[in-house]
A = this chain, B = another copy of it.
């Protein structure tokens, strides 16, 4: 049971990172339930108990709007993401599972220059709908708060 959920949640996290890396942002939003919460917060703000988010979408519609806006606006500064996701930590939760993992996100320019953009940890609440795992909540706590003024796409 634990082993099975470990693998299924690992596959979900893998899909999450891959869809972002392949710029399939619309499909990425489909990994969330309608009544979802997606949030990026800095570890420093979490530590100080500050409510400030670097990105906050409290429904799937809001996520979709964000992606649509990106599609229209982000003509310049085009980069390619590469998510490296570590092993997933799974614990049972109310009506689902809590799943977390460390990540490192690299961004490359079209000229092939790569830089580390962000490291941190995913803290997800995952639920099962019709036999499929979906994110009810994804809270990304970033260690790298300094460069996130450049934050455009999800992490």
Contacts and interface: CB of A to CB of B under 8 A. Distances in A.
A15 interface: yes
Chain A binding site: helix, strand, loop or mixed by DSSP? mixed
A83 B86 contact: yes
A87 to B, nearest CB: 4
Interface stretch (A31-39, A68-76, A104-112, A127-135): A104-112
**How many monomers of this protein are in the complex?**
3
A133 to B, nearest CB: 13
A121 to B, nearest CB: 7
Contacts of A18: 89, 100, 102
B82 A102 contact: yes
Interface in A102-155: 102-104, 106, 108, 110-114, 116, 118-121, 142-148
A85 B82 contact: no
Contacts of A146: 111-114
